[in-house]
Structure 1
Amino acid sequence: MATHYETLGVSKDASGEEIKKAYRKLARKLHPDVNPGPEAAAEFKAVTHAYEVLSDADKRANYDATGNENGNGAQGGFGGGFGGFGDIFESFFGGGGQAGPRSRREPGRDALVRVEISLEDAVKGTVYPLQLRTAVVCPVCDGECTEPGTHPQTCEICHGAGHVQRPVRSILGQMMTVAECPACQGYGTTLPKPCPECAGAGRIASQLEKQLRIPAGVATGTRIHLAGQGEAGPGGGPQGDLYVEIDVERHPVFEREGNDLKAVLTVPLTAAALGTDLTLETFDGEQIVSIRPGTESGDTVKLDDLGVPRLRGGGRGDLVVEVRVATPRNLDDEQRELLQKLAALRGETFTEGKFETRGLMSRLRDKLRG
């Protein structure tokens, strides 16, 4: 494989001006407008790449040291774009040839909407009436963009190519560059009679309502993917996808933690001391919460399988009820007297405003001393 110096026909110690002069001479000789053969096009590409490397001081230094302009010791090809003069080449010749006119029919964009549901709906699942304003295929022209009974016509300027050639001046002299046809915007066809409903777009804006099935177990941030239900593309192109993001409202009683539900139940001091059964209204109806005798604030009661269904894998979390013991307030004289008697019976006394607990051993010591 020839080196970049050999490609340009210069010595390894050639100056920048000598390299530039050699490139201009070869470029004029091999330019496709002068020499349209495929071999000349390949040589022109190689010459352009060689000049792009050797005209850059850093790339030339790396190339001289390693044999490669990237400095990794491996001789590179022509991939990855040329930059500099390579970019000029790409703009002149369209990256090796135009692909033809572009289609009016393009895929639609994906859409993202957010919906807010209650915690109960997240636990049980629901069907949500989703209202969506989006683009749909034009019902009059069915995406054809033209008035019914008519058809697009071949562009008279570019003759269906979608692009035209224009002369430009460069360091190589006058050259031809390729640009999008201004008459047809690159489509290769024009619309003498655009559809009156969509003005030739092939789609219109419409308000739709979908019945969205939301499965049990969703949480805030869960996204439901509806393939092919996004907006229709231009020219009646295929629909994109629709993503629905869930936002779950806060609940006045229950709070979600993973797949468990948490609730706080306040009970009277007497109920906590003696124990009782209380009723709690849940998403699964009324449930009995059994308060054990001697329950303290912060103790919990777990109700199995009454939490949130697992979105994947089956089963449900639990309902965890935290008990808070309410301290009685605004006592009347009789209630205060009763509590004082209870404290005395339990060996709990107040001396000069300080609370003291006298247990069995303390009372035995007092007896022995007496």
Structure 2
Amino acid sequence: MKKDYYEILGIDKGATAEQIKKAYRKKAIEFHPDKNPGDKEAEENFKLAAEAYEVLSDPDKKTRYDQYGHAAFEGGGGFGGGGMNMDDIFSQFGDIFGSAFGGGFSGFGGFGGGGGQRRVKGSNLRIKVKMTLEEVANGVEKKVKVKRKIQAKGVTFKTCPTCNGTGQVMKVTNTILGRMQTASTCHVCGGSGQIIESRPPQADAQGMVMSDETVSIKIPAGVTEGMQLKVSGKGNDAPGNNSIPGDLIVVIEEVEHDTLKREGENLHYDLYISFPEAALGVSKEIDTVNGKVRIKLEEGIQSGKILRLKGKGIPSLNSYGSGDLLVHVNVWTPRTLNKEQKQFFEKYLTDENFIPKPEKSDKSFFEKVKDMFS
């Protein structure tokens, strides 16, 4: 079982953004590889702290985590958070360490401007994936075609002579306060520390070619419209021998169902029946996300009655069971009647059995709405 992110950083749910950042920096410095060389446990704690910070420092991810827990990030690399490596950590959060380690990180590619070579990450790609309500309810594995940039075969790189492979150039300026040294990204190599030595004719100026790739994405049951899934390493490549590819960001888009309406984990179904069916009782077949089921309506059922089918809704992402299917019974009133039908209803217009006599158990519309949301 995965450890709670708040517990990892030693904070509570009410922590501010600044407190979260401060707690992460403290943990990261405590378990930093430079302070704990060869200590696998410290390295694992270092990664866990970064994973927790990646989620809790992002308001959207934090909201989803507070609501669904770790289940919000399951499937296909997670919805952000999970599976972070040293390259991800130093490239995303290296500036948080400040000068705690001399501005560099030995042994891990020199992120942050140390003496080593910078490791550049490729750009992310973003696609939308449409899902039917049945797929949302049951989870699905989707195969999507992605057009991404990859390094061309035969391309070679060499150390950038301008920055000597650091990805940064130093500039010294004389001011009234004395000599000031500043670092900026190398304009020749773009911060990668390498430039192209040779490339095949089909490659672009960065040594890249376009490639079509089929990516398999496992999407768990219970996802919602707009939720984002991160598939690590399936974005664009970056130039250089020491680079890593970006990520593929998959945005969930729900396809509207013909008869079922979703409300969180619950589903709603409008069932229309006739006067005779309402008076005599009837058996009806209705749609669910797992096929059709037959339900029995008792005689004398009233319009507006709500039948609750337990567990026939959408599973929760945190594996706490499933929502319900709420069947709304509507008695259909015919708009036109022939002569014989009119005579039938006129005959019973004043019949005492047809005069409305609601009982206390027959809730009003507003009471039913209140019950639905409570």
In the superposition, the TM-score normalised over structure 1's length comes to 0.55
Distance (Å, rounded) in 2 between the aligned partners of 1:159 and 1:319? 65
Distance 1:164 1:322, change over 3 A: closer
Once the 2 structures are TM-superposed, how far is the Cα of residue 278 of structure 1 from its aligned partner? 0.9
Residues 135 and 203 in structure 1, CA contact (< 8 A), matched pair in contact too: yes
Report what 2:328 is aligned to: 322
Paired residue type of 1:123: A
Report what 2:286 is aligned to: 280
2:263 to 241, 257, 263: 257
Report what 2:233 is aligned to: 228
What 5-or-longer segments of structure 2 have no aligned partner? 1-97, 100-112, 358-374
Distance (Å, rounded) in 1 between the aligned partners of 2:205 and 2:199? 5
SS across alignment from 1:234: coil
What 5-or-longer segments of structure 1 have no aligned partner? 1-79, 82-97, 146-151, 349-355, 359-370
2:123 to 109, 112, 124: 109
Distance (Å, rounded) in 1 between the aligned partners of 2:133 and 2:345? 42
Distance (Å, rounded) in 2 between the aligned partners of 1:169 and 1:330? 93
Paired residue type of 1:245: V
Distance (Å, rounded) in 2 between the aligned partners of 1:344 and 1:186? 88
Matched, 1:213 2:227: no
Distance (Å, rounded) in 1 between the aligned partners of 2:150 and 2:201? 16
- Which one has a bigger Cα radius of gyration? 1
Distance (Å, rounded) in 2 between the aligned partners of 1:298 and 1:188? 70
The aligned runs of 1:332-343 (5 Å cut-off) are 332-343=338-349
Aligned length: 246
Structure 1 moving runs of 4+ over 4 Å: 98-103, 157-192
The aligned runs of 1:1-370 (5 Å cut-off) are 103=118, 106-141=120-155, 144-145=156-157, 152=158, 155=161, 191=196, 193-199=198-204, 201-236=206-241, 237-346=243-352
Once the 2 structures are TM-superposed, how far is the Cα of residue 127 of structure 1 from its aligned partner? 2.4
Once the 2 structures are TM-superposed, how far is the Cα of residue 244 of structure 1 from its aligned partner? 1.0
In the superposition, the TM-score normalised over structure 2's length comes to 0.54
Paired residue type of 1:107: K
Report what 2:102 is aligned to: none
Residues 281 and 287 in structure 1, CA contact (< 8 A), matched pair in contact too: yes
Distance 1:332 1:194, change over 3 A: closer
Paired residue type of 2:144: L
Once the 2 structures are TM-superposed, how far is the Cα of residue 299 of structure 1 from its aligned partner? 1.0
Work out the percentage of aligned pairs sharing the same amino acid.
29
Once the 2 structures are TM-superposed, how far is the Cα of residue 345 of structure 1 from its aligned partner? 3.1
Over aligned residues, Cα RMSD in angstroms? Answer: 3.9
Distance (Å, rounded) in 2 between the aligned partners of 1:210 and 1:169? 53
Once the 2 structures are TM-superposed, how far is the Cα of residue 204 of structure 1 from its aligned partner? 2.6
